[in-house]
Structure 1
Amino acid sequence: MSDPTLASLLQGFFTHRLITQRQASPQTISAYRDALRLLLLFAADRAHKQPVRLLIDDVDADTVAAFLDHLETQRSNTSATRNARLAAIHSFYRYALPFIPDWAHTVSQVLAIPPRRRSSTIVHYLTAAETQALLEAPDRGTWFGRRDHALLALAAQTGLRLSEIIGLKVQDLILASPGAAVRTTGKGRRQRATPLTGHTLKILRSWLHELAGEPEYPVFVTSRGHQMSQDAVQRLVAKHAATAAATCPSIGAKKVTPHTLRHTAAMALMTAGVDTSVIALWLGHQSPLTTQIYLHADMATKEKALAKVTSPKTAPGRYKPDDALITFLEHL
C-alpha cells in the first residue's frame, strides 16, 4: 500500500479530524484553512511545483520556518497571527504523523518549531469623541453607507469579534424591546446574548427593514447579497477611520481595526464601572483574567488609585549651571 499523499492527508485532516471527530466550529475550520492554504502556496512557489504535486519533503521544517518569516516580513503579520498560523500547521502534522511513520523525523522537526514570544502591549481603543466621529463617517444617503453605519454601531457597542459580526444571521437579532439583544456563538462554542442599546436597536431595525432578508440571510452583505469577508470589513473600517480623521484628528494617529472596536466597547464598560467578570461574560472570554488587560489601559482607574497615595514631602533641588570657564576646560 502506497504512502498517503500530502493532498490526501490535508483532505483527511479537514473532513475527518476537524469536521467529524472534533466537530470544529466554522471559524476554526476557516482559520486552519487560511493558514494551510498560505503555507501551500508559499511552499509551491519555493519548490516550483503546483500545490497538488507537493510532497511531505517540500513542506519540511526549513520551509515552514521560512514561511513564518515571510508572514512577518512580507505580509506584516503580528506575532499573534504568526503563532496562530503555526498552531494550525502543528495540528495538521500531529494528525498526519501516524499515517507517515517514514517521515517522522521531518514531522518532529516541524513540531519542534516554537511559537514566538509576544510582548505584552496596552490595548488601543477609541474615545467617545473618536467613536462618534467614526460612526458619522459613512454616507448614510447611500446603501453602502447605511450598511457600514449599522455594522460600525453594532461593533462599537457590543464588542463582537469580527468573525461573529460577519457570521450574523437575521434570526440572531432580537429586536423586541425590552430584551433586545444579539445572539452569537464565539470561541469554544460558547453561546451568549449581548444586549443592545436603544440607539443601536434603532439603527439595526432600520437596516433590517431595508435588507428585507429571510431569517437565514446574513445581516451584513455585499452588493450581490453574499456574506461579507473579513478583509472587506477591515477595509471599510480603515476607510471610515480615515474619513473621520478630517473632523477628529486624534483618530488619525491610531490604527483602527475591527478589533479596536471590540476594545472600545470593553473600555466603555470599564470606565462606566462595570466589573471585569461581567465584561468577560460580555466579550465571551473564557476567563476573567483575559479581561485584566483593560485595567492596564484604563488611566482613570490608575489616577484614582494614585490620588489615594500619600506622596513624600521632599522639595525639588535647585538647578545651578556650571561655571562657564570650568565647563570649557573640562571639555578640552
Structure 2
Amino acid sequence: MQAFFTERLIRQRQASPHTLAAYRDTLRLMLVFAAARHGTEPSRLEFNALDAACVGDFLDHLERHRGNSARTRNARLAAIRSLFRFAALRYPEYAATIERVLAIPPKRFERRLVTFLTEEELDVLLSAPARSTWTGRRDHALLRLAAQTGLRASEMISLHCADIHLGSGAHVSCIGKGRKQRITPLTSNMAAVL
C-alpha cells in the first residue's frame, strides 16, 4: 500500500495533498471495515480478504452507517479502483479478485442544478461592505470579482497581484481544480474597481 501512495500517487500522478488525504482516509476506513469483518487487525489482512463482496459491503456501509451520499461513495470507489488498478500490475496472481472489484459500478445520482444569485440578491450582497473603509472597499472588490468571474473560494484565496492583468485585455489568471489554468476576462468596470 505504501508503494501505491509513493510511486503511483505522488511520483507518477503527482496527486494533490487533498487527493492524497481523500485516498488515505478511504483506504483506512476500508481496512478497518475489512479487519472487523474478518476478525483480525488491519495490518494482518490478506489481499484476497478485500474481494468484491467486501468492497461492496464497505460501500453500502458508507451510505447506511456513515451517512455518505452517492457522490461521496463514488469518490471512495474511485480511490479503491485506483489502488486495485495499481495492484493488478504488481500482483497478477490476484487478477480474478481485482477484476471483480474493478467491475463494481458507480452509483447513479441526480446532479443538482447550479443555482445563481438574482440581480437583486447580488446588489444586496455588493452593498453590504462599508466602502468608506479600506477593508470595506477590499471586500466589495473581492465580492464583485467573485460574482463577475465565477472563481471558486479556493481560487480567490490563491490569487496574487500578478494574476490580475489590468489595461488592454484585462483578465484574471488562476489555477483551478485539477491544476488547470483558467483565464477569465474582466469588464472595464471591474478593472476600474480593482
What is the TM-score when the length of structure 1 is the normalising length?
A: 0.44
RMSD across aligned C-alpha pairs, in angstroms?
4.0
Whether 1:108 aligns to 2:96 is no
Instruction: Answer whether contact 2:34 2:50 (CA < 8 A) is retained.
Output: no
Give the equivalent residue in structure 1 for 2:81: 90
Q: 2:29 aligns with which of 41, 65, 73?
A: 41
Which whole-Å CA distance do the structure 2 matches of 1:72 and 1:30 have between them?
22
Q: CA deviation at 1:57?
A: 4.5
2:120 is aligned with 1:129:
yes
Equivalent position of 1:185 in the other structure = 175
Distance in 2, matches of 1:78 and 1:44, equals: 20
Counterpart Cα distance in 2 of 1:57 and 1:146: 60
Identity fraction in percent: 47
- Report the Cα distance in structure 2 between the residues aligned to 1:112 and 1:192, rounded to whole angstroms: 35
Structure 2 equivalent of residue 323 of structure 1: none
TM-score norm. by structure 2 comes to: 0.68
Structure 1 residues 42 and 91, CA gap change in structure 2 (3 angstroms): closer
Structure 2 unpaired stretches of 5+: none
Aligned equivalents of 2:94, 2:148: Cα separation in 1: 50
CA shift, 1:113, in A, is 0.8
How many residues in Structure 1 have an aligned counterpart in Structure 2? Answer: 190
Bigger Rg, structure 1 or 2: 1
Higher relative contact order (CA 8 A, sep 6+): 1
Aligned to 1:315: none
Specify every segment of 5 or more residues in structure 1 that has no aligned partner in the other structure, as ranges: 1-8, 206-332
Q: Does the alignment pair 1:174 with 2:164?
A: yes
**Distance in 2, Cα, partners of 1:52 & 1:200:** 56
Residue by residue over 1:132-163, the C-alpha shift from the partner in whole angstroms, topping out at 9 and shown as x without a partner, is 344556788797x8887665543332123455
| Letter matched to residue 193 of structure 1 | I
Change (3 A) 1:102 1:33: farther
SS at match of 1:183: strand
Cα pair 2:59 2:73 within 8 Å, conserved: yes
How many angstroms apart in 2 are the aligned matches of 1:92 and 1:170?
Answer: 36
